[in-house]
Amino acid sequence: MEKQKTIASQVSLSGAGIHTGNKVNITFKPAQVSSGVSFIRTDITGAPRIQANVQSFLAAKFSRRSSIGNNEVEVQTIEHLMAALSSLGIDNIDVEIDNNELPGLDGSSIKFVEALEQAGIVEQEQEKYIHVIKEPICIEDGSSSITVVPSKEFKISYTLNYDHPLLEAQFLEICVNAKSFKTEIAPARTFCLESEASELQNQGLGLGASYENTLVVGKTGVIKNSLRFKDEFVRHKILDLIGDLCLSACPIRGHVIALRSGHSLNLKIAQKIYEQKIKAQGDSTMEGVLDVNEIMKIIPHREPFLFVDRVTHLEKGKRAVGVKNVTINDYFFRGHFPGRPVMPGVIIVEAMAQVGGVMMLASEENRGKLAFFLSINNVKFRKPVVPGDQLVLEVEAIKVKSKTGQVRGRALVDGKVVAEADFVCALVSN
C-alpha cells in the first residue's frame, strides 16, 4: 500500500496571473494527513480556506481555466499546479495565496514541479486511497468525449484536432508517473490561436499572457517563440486533463481516453469519478451522504442534543464533513444572549465532536461503540455564530485505534473558520 505524502518544508513562488494579470505570491506548506489540497486566501480577512475538489469547482463563472471557490472568494487557474501535485503524488498541502489567481509562470507546470521538489516530498503515516476504475465511465459533448476504462496503471490517450493547419491532428498516449510527467508533460505550455487572442483579451482573459508564457499559433507557426516538443500542444492538453482529474480528490488507476476535451468536459468526468469513488467506499450519494436518521444509527445523540443535520462527506476512520443549519428556533438561543443571539462555543465544539464520532464509529470495527471525551485541546473561537448561519464541520483523524481516537476539527461559516479544536476520545463498547 502507498502512503500519503506532503512536502518537507515550505517554499514560495511569485508571478502574475495569466488571465487576470494580477501580481501574486504563493507559499506551499506541509499539511496533515487526509487534509487534501487547500488554498488559503491570505489577502482576505479570516484567511478563508478552499478545498480543491469537484464540489468547489466554479464551472459557470470562469471559462478556459479551472477555478474553485464559493460565493465570496475564489482561486483561478489551478490546473497546472494540480497536475504537478497529482503527478508527484502529493496528497496533502496548504497553498497560501494573496490574490485571486495562481501565477502563470512560463505557462506550464515545470516551475511548480521544481519548487515542490526543492521543498522535498515526504511520506506520512496514513495509507493513500487510490481509486481503481472497475466499470467504464463515458461522457460526450458534441465532437468531444472522455472515456475511462480499467487499467493496471494511470494512462492517458489524447487526440487533439483543431480547425487549423498546425493543430489538425495530434495524438499522444502516456503512462503518467512522476518521471514521465516531469520530462514529457510538465514543460508543455498553454496555447491559443492568433485569431482568437485579441477577442480573449477583449473578454478580460489573458491579461497576463505574453509570447513568453503562451504559445500563440499563427498561420505559419508559433509567433515569437519556439516549441519545446513537436507535439507540445497535445502534451499541454494532457497536462490540463491531469490537473482537472485531480479534483476528483483521489489518484486513479485507469486508462483515460480523451478526444478534443477541455476543462468543462474534464471536470464532468472528474465528477463522475468522484461519485464512483464515494460508492466504492460504501457511502450513498454525493449530496447528503448521511441524513439525520442515518446519523442517529451511528451515534446515540438525540434532540435536543443532536447538533448535526447531515454528513455530506464521509471517509470512514479518516475524514468527515457535517452541516448544522443554525436557526433562531434552536433551544439554546432562549437563554444565551437572548437580546443578541450567539451560538454557545461549547455547542460548536460538541457539534464538531459529533461529526468526529460519526467518522470514527461508522467503520465496521467500531460500529456500536460509544465515544467519550478524554481531552479537548487547542480550542479557539474566531467569530460568533448567529441564527441564519450554516455551520460546516470538518474533522480529520490524527490517529484512530480500537480503543482511542485523536481528531482535529474545524467549524466554518461562509468558508471562514469560526472555531477549531483537537479531541481525544475513548472508544468503548456500548
187-242: per-residue pLDDT in tens?
A: 999 998 887 777 776 776 778 888 888 998 888 888 999 999 999 999 999 999 99
Tell me which amino acid residue 85 is.
Answer: L
Report the domain count for the chain: 3
Question: Domain check: are 347 and 264 in the same one?
Answer: no
Residue 122's nearest CA partner among 3, 27, 7 is 7
Residue 18's nearest CA partner among 221, 181, 236 is 236
Structural domain span for residue 221: 131-280
Higher-pLDDT residue of 278, 371: 371
Identify the band that residue 285 occupies on the pLDDT scale cut at 50, 70 and 90.
very low
Environment class of 316 (CB within 10 Å of its CB; exposed 0-12, middle 13-18, buried 19+): buried
CATH number, position 371 = 3.10.129.10
Question: Domain check: are 122 and 142 in the same one?
Answer: no
Question: Domain check: are 140 and 121 in the same one?
Answer: no
Q: What is the pTM of this model?
A: 0.69
Cα distance between residue 269 and residue 280, in whole Å: 16
Cα distance between residue 333 and residue 419, in whole Å: 18
Report the share of the chain in percent with pLDDT over 70. 96
Could you say which of 127, 155, 182 is where a domain stops? 127
Asked whether residue 285 is assigned to any structural domain, the reply reads no
With beta carbons less than 8 A apart as the criterion, state whether 95 and 85 touch. no
Helices and strands, number each (H, E), in the chain:
8, 24
Cell of 272: 463522475
Question: Domain check: are 42 and 172 in the same one?
Answer: no
Question: Domain check: are 410 and 298 in the same one?
Answer: yes
| 353 torsion bin: left (phi>0), alpha (psi -120 to 50), beta (else) | alpha
Question: Domain check: are 274 and 136 in the same one?
Answer: yes
Which residues have a catalytic role annotated? 263, 336
With beta carbons less than 8 A apart as the criterion, state whether 32 and 47 touch. no
Asked whether residue 264 is assigned to any structural domain, the reply reads yes
Question: Domain check: are 198 and 93 in the same one?
Answer: no
CATH number, position 274 = 3.30.1700.10
Instruction: Please count the other Cβ atoms lying within 10 Å of the Cβ belonging to residue 315.
Output: 22
Kindly tell me if the per-residue pLDDT of 410 is higher than 90: yes
Cα distance between residue 8 and residue 51, in whole Å: 21
Asked whether residue 217 is assigned to any structural domain, the reply reads yes
With beta carbons less than 8 A apart as the criterion, state whether 5 and 122 touch. yes
With beta carbons less than 8 A apart as the criterion, state whether 402 and 396 touch. no
Asked whether residue 287 is assigned to any structural domain, the reply reads no
pLDDT number for residue 288: 42
Question: Domain check: are 210 and 306 in the same one?
Answer: no
CATH number, position 12 = 3.30.230.20
Residue 76's nearest CA partner among 84, 86, 85, 66 is 66
Question: Domain check: are 303 and 397 in the same one?
Answer: yes
Asked whether residue 406 is assigned to any structural domain, the reply reads yes
Could you say which of 280, 304, 338 is where a domain stops? 280
Could you say which of 280, 300, 318 is where a domain stops? 280
Asked whether residue 165 is assigned to any structural domain, the reply reads yes
Lowest mean pLDDT among 15-19, 123-127, 303-307: 123-127
Question: Domain check: are 138 and 122 in the same one?
Answer: no
Question: Domain check: are 101 and 198 in the same one?
Answer: no
Asked whether residue 404 is assigned to any structural domain, the reply reads yes
Q: Is the dihedral of CA 1, 254, 286, 51 positive or negative?
A: positive
**356-377 average pLDDT score:** 88
Question: Domain check: are 9 and 96 in the same one?
Answer: yes
Residue 239's nearest CA partner among 191, 207, 167, 204 is 191
